[in-house]
Structures are given as C-alpha cells and as structure tokens.
C-alpha cells in the first residue's frame, strides 16, 4: 500500500537554529502533500498544503517565512522551521494524497520537535 516516510522522528535543537523535516512518498507520486501540527492531547491542525512545483498554500495564522515548505519533486516535500523557538516545539505530521483517488490520504509517522 501507499507509504509515507517522515524523517527525523525526533529532533532537539537550540533556539535560533533551523530544522528541516522530510516527507517522502515511497511507492507513489504525491502531487499534493499536507503539513500538520499537533499539540499534546489535541487534534491535528493543518499548517499548509504543498503542491509539487508551486508555492505552498498556508493556512491563516501560519507564518510562511517561519515554516518554509519546499515540494521540489513528486516524492519529496520538506518543512523547515527557521529560527526555532521553544514555542515551536510540537509534533509535526505530513500526509500525502495517493495519486489514484481523490479521497485517499496516507500519513507519515510524525516528527517530535523540541526546541531548547
């Protein structure tokens, strides 16, 4: 079945540094990927929609200059948290739309980011 690989699973970084999270579709081409943020014991909040070869579409309230998204190929989207601060600590999850259906989504395993 469709598999989405997300790396790293955990990362700790210092305040002010940048962190890159990768989301890869392993056995299908994903023209559209989604990036979510999840706080402890809360639901998933959509941050942005990543479309291959074009600029990402950000949800209201999400800083595009802080959360840089690049979808340079049909199998890879990256989220870079720039100048990270402790309040950026969260669980980040990507998902990809499986190409053969307008309805199917597969999620990555998530990345736990801790900014110290």
Report the interface residues with another protein, using CB under 8 A: 4, 6, 32, 34, 41-46, 49, 51, 93, 95, 97, 102-110, 112
Cα 26 to Cα 59, 106, 108: the distances in Å are 26, 11, 11
On whether the CB atoms of residues 5 and 26 are closer than 8 A, the answer is: yes
Beta carbon of residue 16, minimum distance to another protein (angstroms, whole number): 26
Beta carbon nearer to another protein, 17 or 29 = 29
Beta carbon nearer to another protein, 22 or 107 = 107
Beta carbon nearer to another protein, 45 or 82 = 45
How many CB atoms lie under 10 A from the CB of residue 103?
A: 7
Beta carbon of residue 51, minimum distance to another protein (angstroms, whole number): 8
Pull the structure tokens for residue 57: 């579409």
Strand ranges in the chain using DSSP code E only, listed in sequence order: 4-7, 10-13, 19-25, 32-38, 44-51, 57-58, 67-73, 76-81, 90-97, 105-107, 111-115
Beta carbon nearer to another protein, 36 or 67 = 36
Beta carbon of residue 102, minimum distance to another protein (angstroms, whole number): 6
Beta carbon of residue 73, minimum distance to another protein (angstroms, whole number): 18
């Amino acid at each position: 079945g469709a598999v989405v690989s997300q790396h790293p699973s955990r990362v700790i970084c210092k305040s002010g540094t940048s962190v890159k999270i990768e989301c890869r579709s392993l056995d299908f081409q994903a023209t559209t990927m989604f990036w979510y943020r999840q706080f402890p014991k809360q639901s998933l909040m959509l941050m942005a929609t990543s479309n291959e070869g074009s600029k990402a579409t950000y949800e209201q309230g999400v800083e595009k200059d802080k959360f840089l998204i690049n979808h340079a190929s049909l199998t890879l989207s990256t989220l870079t948290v720039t100048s990270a601060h402790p309040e950026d600590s969260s669980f980040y999850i990507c998902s990809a739309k499986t190409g053969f259906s307008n309805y199917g989504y597969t999620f990555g395993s998530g990345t736990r980011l801790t900014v110290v």
